[in-house]
Amino acid sequence: MSAVSNGDLVRAAKKVAKFRRATDDVTFGHVGAAILTDKGHVYTGVSIDAWCGLGFCAEPSAIANMLTNGEHGIRKIVAVNGRNGKILPPCGRCREFLYQVTGDKEVGVILDKCREAKLGDLLPEQWQKKSFKRRH
């Protein structure tokens, strides 16, 4: 078992969830995310928002950090709103991305202080490559 508790993971996400401005057109850190890997390491990431509409959630940012460090197995993930410190369930795109990266419906998703769900419960019908048939 890991020595990293849900509280530790939430604190790691809160630590990076600080609104900051990179340029006139880009802000980041509205939301922070933290991942506990199956090797027991914690990786964090922040949301990024560009004025033109581009950007992404904190979860893929943390996933990119994890992949950059050579890991891909996620035990748990949490995202926190930097403005009020509340835990945020992942959006639909992030649920799908979590599944595509890990292929694991047992990934734990912290939903609030007292609740946690398995990714498979939040994403019962994930996209599947096999549902596409090659035509040529």
| Given 12, 13, 35, 57, the residue binding Zn ion (CB under 5 A) | 57
> Would you state the structure tokens that stand for residue 20, as one six-digit string?
């900051």
* Contact stretch for Zn ion (CB under 5 A) within 1-9, 27-35, 53-61, 104-112: 53-61
For residue 133, the minimal CB distance to Zn ion (Å) is 29
Contact between 94 and Zn ion by CB under 5 A: the answer reads yes
- d(CA 119, CA 59) in angstroms, rounded, equals 13
Alpha-carbon gap, residue 113 to 89, rounded angstroms: 12
Q: How many residues bind Zn ion (CB under 5 A)?
A: 3
Asked if residue 91 binds Zn ion (CB under 5 A), the reply is: yes
Residue 130 makes CB contacts below 8 A (sequence gap 6+) with: none
**Cα 24 to chain center, whole Å?**
26
Positions that interact with Zn ion (CB under 5 A): 57, 91, 94
